[in-house]
Amino acid sequence: MRAIDDIITDFELLDDWEDRYRYVIELGRELPELPADAMNDATKVPGCVSQVWLTSQTQAGAPPRLTFSGQSDAHIVRGLVAIALAFYSGRTAPDILEADAEALFERLGLRENLTPQRSNGLRSMVARIRNDARAALETA
């Protein structure tokens, strides 16, 4: 998986939104597959038009650190999952809760270039990630 700084740099080099969409699809293709048993009702993200599944693993510590995996059945959405995971995965729970995903999506131009349904799905993914971070803090 690519680092979020590399993704930001790559987006800045692409002027045309058609090229950016192709890049998002490419990011999705690079996303590791989730095992079939990880794609279930418990990991499914509600609020997404496409099917999206997110899993989290928490590393004990003070504060706990979370690693995320994800999958979607739609090419562009799978790329959006890859961007969200690059932004959040590997961070501590407090860092996740403080991180401004909306600012990142604005910087990448995703908000104004995605359909409202995809934007809502992206917000649902972020909400799920933040909920997992809150849960990790509560059980730490």
Q: Whole-angstrom Cα distance, residue 100 to residue 87?
A: 10
Residue 93's domain is classified under what CATH number? 3.90.1010.10
Q: What value, to the nearest 5°, has the Cα angle with vertex 37 and ends 84 and 97?
A: 30
Residues 52-82: tens digit of each pLDDT = 999 999 998 889 999 999 999 999 999 999 9
Residue 88 burial by CB count (10 A; 0-12/13-18/19+): exposed, middle or buried?
buried
139 is catalytic: no
Domain region containing 27: 4-139
Whole-model pTM? 0.93
When divided into structural domains, the chain yields a total of 1
**Residue of 48, 101, 110, 129 marked catalytic:** 48
Residues 74-97: tens digit of each pLDDT = 999 999 999 999 999 999 999 999
Query: Which tokens is 30 given?
Result: 């690079």
